[in-house]
Structure 1
Amino acid sequence: MLSLGFVTLDEQQDHTYCTEVAKRARRYGISVCRFSPLSIDPQTENVRGFLFQEETNEWTNAVFAIPPFLYDRCFYGHDERSKKAKPIMNWLKQRPDLTFLGYGLPGKWDVYEALSSHPLLSAYVPPTVRLERADDVLVLLRREQAAIAKPVHGSGGRGIGIFQKKGKTLSVQDHHGQEQAVIARRSELEQLIASWSRRGEYVLQPLLPLSTPEGEPFDLRILLQKDENGRWIERVRAVRVGRPGAWVANVRAGADIRPFSEWLDRLSSSKRLFVLDGIETIIETLPPYLDHTFGPLFEIGLDLGATDNGAVWILDVNSKPGRKVAHLLPPEQQNELYEAPLRYCLFLARGGKDNDLHIDH
């Protein structure tokens, strides 16, 4: 029997998702376990983790060898556990006897650079620079009303900062729209950026006008996964709508998830054509390009923006996406999400090469 291991930093992270996958694993001839990279014994290379027992539908404590197939669901912060876990995960990914469902993406800057160099995708990438000094903000704000700073390794809206012109000063806000500082001098801006840089790298982009007629921030989330033949499949597309006054539509901050079709129906026919053409170009081109550029992936959460003129923008690409948009799916399609890691694991076990460029919708 094949063995597939979910790797997470937090014991309870993805617990429900992992359990639903494990319940379906037996029919594929797969046993499922879960563990933290910090629970690997460096001497024996055995793992202290949890094995799923199909008879009871429960997890039991166990010690076992590192499974040959691994599903990386580790999310890192600035804490000590993250600092210790990262090099262990890198070591696991370099081992030829282990296969990951997906090998992940680097930080936002590397991804934006790769997309900006692609002949088709570059048209959908907002102008992006590294945020290193005050001039980066000031130059951008000479031609834009507002700019958004994003942590290179951030997700879920955490750490985002908004720079907005406010008379002769700059208003600095968090992603909730709460003002954090008012900057009147260049030296104050330099100090702020220096303090952010101590936490990690940032990129800077124009703040795109992405809001509903009611003033709610929104974006489009598309979940893509590979199927049992290594082909990219679109699983679901949805619209995330935040609260008025916020800058990002983040589900953790209370954003609603709405059907894509409802949003699309509100557009004029000409704008609808522009938007759909942009989306189709991106989802046909981006997944195989990322595979080729950064190594094989299993799934992608694609965040897109659509402005009033019908332009579509790539806001973020996540190789460890959440699944909150999946609740819009009927039960049989939700089941496909839970079976997808198992089917793809079998494909890899058969020696499959995931280089098929076709995307099914």
Structure 2
Amino acid sequence: MISFGFVTINDRQEIDYSTEIAKRAERYGITVFRFTPLDIDPLTEKARGRQFHAATQSWTESVFAIPAFLYDRCFYRADERSKKSKPIMQWLKQRPDITFLGYGFPSKWELYKKLIDHPLLSHYVPKTTLLRSPTDLLHMIRKEKAAICKPEHGSRGQGIYVVKQVEGHLHILDTNGQTIATIKRKTDLQQWVETLLRRSSYLIQPFLPLKTKQNEPFDVRFFFQKNEYGQWSERGRGIRVGAPGTIIANVSAGASISGFSEWFKQIPAPQRLFITDGIETITTVLPSYLEEKFGPLFELGLDLGITEEGGVWLIDVNSKPGRKIITALAPEKRDTIYEAPLRYCLFLANGVNVR
């Protein structure tokens, strides 16, 4: 049997998802384990986690050797557990006896630098800079009137702020669109930026007008996985719409989901041409280019923002995407999505070069 490890920061994270995978594993000759990086004993290099048993369709506590194939579903935050877990995962990724389904990206800043090097993709990426001081933020706001601040290692829309200039003052908004601070002096801005950077490194971008006519933030999520032949396959795409006045359209933050084709039919014909061209360029070029620059990947979530004029922006690229949109919009694809990690694991086990 092939040993397959589902790795998370906390042992209660994504239990439903890992269980759906594990239920289907026996037919592929795969045994599924789940554990956290901190479950590994540094002396024995064994993990104390849970093993799924097909006979009882349940997880039981177990001590086991680190599985030969690992599915990294670790989302890092600023807490101590994340800080301790990250170097352990980096150590595992260096081991020649362990294969990860995907190796992910080092950071959003490193990702941005590679994207702007590409002659086609660079046209779809918002101007991005590292936030090092208030001067960086002021420079962008003077030029763009509003800037969005994103954690360099953030995910799921957490830790995002928008800074707008209103009547000579700066208003800092959270993702709910609520003003959490009004900055009237540069010393206040200095203090806010320093507090922000103590929690995480941050990137800043222009705050783009990616909203519906009802002032709802929206974007398009594309979900890709590798198939059993090591080839990229689009599993689906959907529209995410946030509440009026909020900042982001993230499902974990309460955004609604709708089908892409229904939305696209309502777009005027001239804009459709621009949108289709942008989408096809990004989805065709991006996955293979990212693997060329960062190494093997298994899945990708692409978030595209679209303006009223039909302009397409690559807002975010996630190597550990959720799948709520696809399972909600296309429940008939559930088996395909849950079996994909197992099928790709078999592909890797056969020793095929996926680069």
TM band (smaller chain): over 0.9
Partner of residue 289, structure 1: 289
Q: Residue 298 of structure 1 corresponds to which residue in structure 2?
A: 298
Question: Alpha carbons of 1:86 and 1:23: their partners in 2 closer, same or farther (altered >3 Å)?
Answer: same
Q: CA deviation at 1:200?
A: 1.3
CA distance in 2, matches of 1:138, 1:308: 27
* Structure 2: runs of 5+ lacking an equivalent: none
Distance 1:331 1:314 in 2: 27
Return the letter of the residue paired with 1:162: V
Instruction: Please give the alpha-carbon distance, in whole angstroms, between the structure 2 residues aligned to 1:253 and 1:308.
Output: 24
Question: Quick one: distance in 2 between partners of 1:271 and 1:224?
Answer: 25
In structure 1, what residue type is equivalent to 2:200? G
Matched residue, 2:247: 247
**1:62 maps to which residue?**
62
Opposite residue 75 of structure 1, the aligned amino acid is F
- Provide the residue aligned with 2:72 in structure 1: 72
Q: Could you tell me which amino acid in structure 2 is paired with residue 46 of structure 1?
A: K
Matched, 1:43 2:43: yes
Q: Which residue is 1:214 aligned to?
A: 214
- 1:237, distance to aligned residue in structure 2 (A): 0.3
For the Cα contact (< 8 Å) 1:301–1:320, is it kept in 2?
yes
Moved over 3 A (4+): 328-332
Instruction: Provide the secondary structure at the position in 2 that maps to 1:49.
Output: strand
1:358 is matched with none
Aligned to 2:158: 158
Deviation at residue 329 of structure 1 after TM alignment? 4.2
**Partner in structure 2 of residue 123 of structure 1:** 123
TM-score (norm 1): 0.96
Contact 2:71–2:101 at 8 Å: present in 1 too?
A: yes
Q: What residue in structure 1 maps to residue 313 of structure 2?
A: 313
Partner SS state of residue 214, structure 1 = coil
Contact 2:226–2:340 (CA under 8 A) maintained in structure 1 = yes
- Aligned residue type for 2:188: E
Cα contact 1:242–1:249 (8 A) shared by 2:
yes
Q: 3-state SS of the aligned residue for 2:353?
A: coil
Aligned-residue sequence identity (percent) comes to 56
Is residue 98 of structure 2 the alignment partner of residue 101 of structure 1? Answer: no
Deviation at 1:251, TM superposition (A): 1.4
SS of 2:75's equivalent?
Answer: coil
Q: How many aligned residue pairs are there?
A: 355
The corresponding residue for 2:198 is 198
RMSD: 1.0
Q: What residue number does 2:232 align with?
A: 232
Q: Give the Cα separation in 1 of the matches to 2:264 and 2:168.
A: 39
Question: Is 1:113 aligned to residue 113 of structure 2?
Answer: yes
**What CA distance in whole angstroms lies between the structure 2 residues aligned with 1:334 and 1:273?**
31
**Alpha-carbon distance between aligned partners in 2 of 1:117 and 1:330, rounded to the nearest angstrom:** 35
Alpha-carbon distance between aligned partners in 2 of 1:131 and 1:113, rounded to the nearest angstrom: 15
Which residue in the other structure is 1:352 paired with?
352
The worse-fitting range, judged by mean Cα deviation, of 305-314 and 185-194 is 185-194
Indicate the residue corresponding to 1:359 in structure 2. Answer: none
| 1:76-134 deviation per Cα after TM superposition (whole angstroms, max 9, x unaligned) | 11111111111111110000000000011121111111101111100000011111112
Distance 2:81 2:192 in 1: 27
Q: Structure 2 CA distance, aligned partners of 1:33 and 1:329? A: 29
- CA distance in 1: counterparts of 2:326 and 2:61, whole angstroms: 30
- Between the aligned partners of 2:323 and 2:333, the Cα distance in structure 1 is 13
The one-letter amino acid paired with 2:210 is L
**Mapped partners of 1:84, 1:94: distance in 2:** 17
Contact kept? 1:7, 1:34, Cα under 8 Å: yes
2:170 is aligned with 1:181: no
For residues 2 and 119 of structure 2, what CA distance do their matches in structure 1 show? 41
Deviation string 1:31-65 (CA, Å, 9 cap, x unpaired) is 11101111111111111111111111100111111
Q: CA deviation at 1:330?
A: 3.6
**Matching of residues 248-287 of structure 1 within 5 Å:** 248-287=248-287
Q: Larger deviation: 141-150 or 45-54?
A: 141-150
1:8-47 equivalences under 5 Å are 8-47=8-47
Equivalent residues of 2:327, 2:333 under 8 A apart:
no
Q: Deviations over 1:273-296 (max 9, x none)?
A: 111110111011111111010111
Indicate the SS of the match to 1:142.
Answer: helix
CA–CA distance in structure 1, aligned partners of residues 261 and 228 of structure 2: 28
Q: What is the CA–CA distance in structure 2 between the aligned matches of 1:135 and 1:46, rounded to whole Å?
A: 49
Q: Deviations over 1:294-314 (max 9, x none)?
A: 111100111110011111111
| Alpha carbons 1:149, 1:203 under 8 Å: kept | yes
Q: Give the Cα separation in 1 of the matches to 2:21 and 2:352.
A: 21
1:229–1:354 CA contact under 8 A, matched in 2: no
Secondary structure class of the residue paired with 2:212: coil
Structure 1 CA distance for aligned equivalents of residues 190 and 346 of structure 2? 52
Give the letter aligned to residue 29 of structure 2. Answer: G
Residues 259 and 329 in structure 2, CA contact (< 8 A), matched pair in contact too: no
